[in-house]
Structure 1
Amino acid sequence: MNGKTLKKVCLIGLINGIMLGFLMKWMEMYSGKQVYQLLLNVDFLPVIGTIPWSEATLFLFHLLASLTITFSYVYILHTRSIFRKWKTYTLAICIITPAILLYFPLSLLSQTEVAHPFDLAAFFLWSLLHLIYALFLPKAI
């Protein structure tokens, strides 16, 4: 990956992560479902969870996760010939599905108030917004 490609992948990961975060925050304000709180929650992690991070720092953690997802997508797309035969949207959805399913353990492990693990409306919002993220990923690449 050359420098120009690296910058492009970073920019796409950051833009998509910012988009997801803002959509989550907006949906939380509109619906009352604490999906944005869940997105930023790290209180269940040893050591890291005991530190009172600012919202900006927690959002930075989220952006690092977005960069990881974006780099994984680009790596798999460019190194695995099987995915060249598939549509790029299929790969993006396959990569984002674990993030969608993280809703359940994240909400169960949270020590602060976030979306309830069995709140289907919150899970729908979480899933929908992550699928939007997945649909924008191949479009941007």
Structure 2
Amino acid sequence: MRLRSGKASPAAPAIAELIAVNLRHGGFDPVVAEDSVSAQRELDAVLPDAILLDWMLPGQSGIALARHWRKQARTKSIPILMLTARGDEPDKVAGLDAGADDYITKPFSTQELLARIRAVLRRRAPESVNDSVTVGGLVLDAATHRISY
């Protein structure tokens, strides 16, 4: 399971690595982006299952990235979790209104972070796939549990 995350401050490399280690132990395959440009580049290369996003990324803010990604057809359904030191109510509201599916403030519990990631992944809308199988003239639609001939 791929998870994209971003980091910002001088202390962020150590924090980002700690988060990445915990995500790996939780069964995820995190990709860390240093700034908004590399975050966009990583997202253009491979779509993750979820995005863990810091508000205060170098370059564009996490808020601006969340708004941008929500407007793009390719990225609008990817769950975004804001993980940030900005914990005032107006900041939380701004993050959620910008498109974040969840908002987690630092300091945070690693177990809670993993649980919140699992929760947004459970709520993620299923990808549209062709769930019907045709054998001869018989058609089984797995989505509706109907058989037609």
TM-score w.r.t. length of structure 2: 0.26
Q: Which has the larger radius of gyration?
A: 2
TM-score w.r.t. length of structure 1: 0.27
Q: Which structure is richer in relative contact order (CA contacts within 8 A, separation 6 or more)?
A: 1
The structure with the greater share of residues assigned to helix is 1
